[in-house]
């Protein structure tokens, strides 16, 4: 039984070590989205479509996030991702499912790290769609 246990433990360590090393390797000079989250202040759950698009409109990442109902003063949050390699000079786009408007945020064209928060219903209604707020990456980024 010890051989099996050791084998399992060593395999787990190898996978974890490879995952850590993989995030360090990225294109030099390209921006990073350090963290991206959705904060829902509306009293209904929502699906948010998220895309990262290059300058020439090629989609490099596309996903849908479901975020539970929140409250006017206490948002429910969902993580879109962390340490995302972003296209240099591209855009981060998001929209609520069922609404035609899309909000976009222009990503930097150099080696910078941005933290993004997509807010839904911050002023009581999702009718205005979503708003994207950004800031420089810090150790305390959401």
Give the pLDDT band of residue 28 (cuts 50, 70, 90). low
User: Would you give the end-to-end CA distance of the chain in angstroms?
Assistant: 42
Strand, coil or helix: 59: strand
Whether the predicted pLDDT of 30 surpasses 80? no
| Interval 43-57: pLDDT, tens | 889 899 999 999 899
Note the pLDDT of residue 3: 42
- Residues with Cβ within 8 Å of 115's Cβ and at least 6 positions away in sequence, in order, are 33, 34, 35, 36, 134, 135, 136, 137, 138, 141, 142
For the chain, domain boundaries: 28-136
The pLDDT, as a whole number, for residue 73 is 80
| Greater pLDDT, 26 or 70 | 70
The bridge status of strand 32-40 relative to strand 113-120 is parallel
- The verdict on domain 28-136 having CATH code 3.90.1070 is no
Helix (H) / strand (E) element for 3: namely helix 2-24
pLDDT band at 16, cuts 50/70/90? very low
Distance of alpha carbon 131 from the chain centroid:
14
Is residue 52 exposed (0-12), middle (13-18) or buried (19+ Cβ within 10 Å)? buried
Spatial distance between the Cα atoms of 108 and 88, rounded to a whole number of angstroms: 6
């Amino acid at each position: 039984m010890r051989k099996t246990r050791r084998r399992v433990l060593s395999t787990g360590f190898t996978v974890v070590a490879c995952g850590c090393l993989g995030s360090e390797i990225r294109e030099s000079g390209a921006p990073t989205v350090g963290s991206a989250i959705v904060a829902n202040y509306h009293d209904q759950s929502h699906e948010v479509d998220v895309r990262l698009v290059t300058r020439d409109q090629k989609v490099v990442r596309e996903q849908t996030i479901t975020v539970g109902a929140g409250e006017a003063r206490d948002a429910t949050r969902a993580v879109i991702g962390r340490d995302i390699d972003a296209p240099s000079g591209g855009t981060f786009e998001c929209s609520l499912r069922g609404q035609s408007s899309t909000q976009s945020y222009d990503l930097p064209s150099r080696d910078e790290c941005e933290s993004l928060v997509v807010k839904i219903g911050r002023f009581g209604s999702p009718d205005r769609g979503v708003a994207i707020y950004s800031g420089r990456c810090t150790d305390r980024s959401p």
